[in-house]
Amino acid sequence: MNSIQGMGISTIYLFKKKILKSVDFIMEDIEMKETKVKKKILGIMGSPRKNGNTHVMLSKILEGAKESGAETEIIFLGDLRIQECDGCYACWNGNNCSKQDDMNDLYEKISESDVLIFGTPVYWYGPTALMKAFLARFVYFNCTENRKKIKNKRAVLAVPFEENNLETANPLIQMFEKSFKYLNIPLIEKIIVPGVTERGEILKKEKIMMYCQEIGHELAK
């Protein structure tokens, strides 16, 4: 007599019930994995040169993130009209920014993102004018009402530049570090790449490209 034949009716019923419960648990686990909320990762292209080294770095990071299931998007600051902040503090009084430009549309996009990747080359020991104007408008997030929209979002810095001395990027890095610290934005990764000048030259640095992709994978987790 085999084991199934030797079971009583009540025993068989409990056995089947246990199997069905296990199947239900497995199906629930599969559904949870399928419905897991995807990370939203926003790449901010601060270089005016498309397909240049900054663009390549950002694209590779976002490629890795997308491969690991994240929702990714890249914005090109050079295609947008972003004016300087003139310190009117309209945003601090619960109003929209007084500047009628493209930055007003970006505030919501930034707020909805989990990770922000800032990409800029080194221009005169700082970021590009495009990136500086963009970052200056983060004053919008520096009031009680809006600070929660930016607090604890993770940031990544991607910086290629021409000179071979790593210290060349220090003033730029310090500016970002201080700005992020003030807004409670953890800067979780800095990818600093010296010695690249020609458009797309960074593609020759295979280890850097692999690392950018790996960072993207990690960001999606």
pLDDT at 3: 44
Which residues share a beta bridge with 187?
155
The C-alpha atoms of residue 61 and residue 218 are separated, in whole angstroms, by: 10
Longest dimension (CA), the chain: 88
The C-alpha atoms of residue 210 and residue 37 are separated, in whole angstroms, by: 26
The C-alpha atoms of residue 137 and residue 80 are separated, in whole angstroms, by: 14
Residue position matching structure tokens 């071979």: 164
The C-alpha atoms of residue 160 and residue 204 are separated, in whole angstroms, by: 13
Q: What is the arithmetic mean of pLDDT over 161-168?
A: 94
Following DSSP, what letter does each residue of 58-117 receive, concatenated?
A: HHHHHHHHHHTT-EEEEEEGGGS--PPP----SGGGTPPPSS-STHHHHHHHHHH-SEEE
Tens digits of residue pLDDT in 29-73: 545 545 568 899 999 999 999 999 999 999 999 999 999 999 999
The pLDDT-based confidence of 96 (bands split at 50, 70, 90) is confident
The C-alpha atoms of residue 135 and residue 170 are separated, in whole angstroms, by: 17
